Amino acid sequence: MVTPLTPDDPASLGGYRLAGRLGEGGQGVVYLAHSPSGLQVAVKLLGTGDSETRARLAREIDALAGIASFCTARVLDVSTSGPRPYVVSEYVDGPSLSERVRDRGPLRGGDLERLAVGTATALAAIHAAGIVHRDFKPSNVLLGPDGPRVVDFGIARAEGAATMTSGLIGTPAYLAPEQINGSPAAPASDVFAWAASMVFAATGTTPFGADTVPAVLHRVLYAEPDLSPLPPRLRGPIASCLSKDPARRPSAQQLMVSLVNP
């Protein structure tokens, strides 16, 4: 949903004319904008950052360029040298998965299976490019007219890059047990978050609840979620992805294959 610009928002960034707000998160504000040629785009305005932060952003954008564009919002332009760095990406005209479930209820049948296959394929492509998303969740899946797109790599990192140490990264209901225990995010933790997101898509609730953060984290560590509401075709793959032991989870590529050839 697009909301009006506030008095504190800029009217333009570079050659991009801002038309409204698409959302705001810990990494910055995302705007709907128009390119000089009139194309609708999404512009993410980031914090000012120091030189090290800007250099890291530039490296991450280079890595994102290696991700197949069918599964995510393609990066069109980047500015890391001005007063405020920003990233311009393809605008996906559709609600997030969290908005879709909130407004119309859980997904069923073919809609759910298409979502599962599409997002698992996206995750396989992301990992093939050497990227760990770190914050896979329903609000970061956009349901475009041509299929789901995984977005918001604002805290994604190339594998092997320095990890952030200022606390937990991600949304508690979608964190993997090893992240809660202090291990850095890895492809296996993205797979766990994918499975938790698919449970939300199918049921309208997260598999580990949504009450207090300590209670949710305790369930992630020690409780087995109820997967009985899931269709039988998805129950096995999702259960394997929610294993407490990351070594027992399939890779995103294995997951993708299991979904199309169960």
Supply the residues annotated as catalytic.
135
CA dihedral (257, 119, 186, 90) positive or negative: positive
Distance, CA of 90 to CA of 194 (rounded, Å): 23
Structure tokens at 110: 């073919």
Closest of 183, 185, 193, 182 to residue 159, by C-alpha? 185
Measure the CA dihedral 62/68/71/72, to 10°. 20
Give the number of other Cβ atoms within 10 Å of residue 35's Cβ: 17
Q: Find tokens 């393609």 and name the residue.
A: 74
Helix (H) or strand (E) holding 197: helix 187-203
E strand or H helix that includes residue 97: helix 97-104
d(CA 204, CA 214): 21
In angstroms, rounded to a whole number, what is the distance separating the alpha carbons of residues 262 and 258? 5
Token duo for residue 214: 């300590």
Which residues, at least 6 apart from 143, have a Cβ–Cβ distance to it below 8 Å? Answer: 94, 95, 96, 97, 100, 115
In degrees rounded to 5, what are phi and psi of residue 101? -70, -40
* Residue 12 neighbours by CB distance under 10 Å: 12
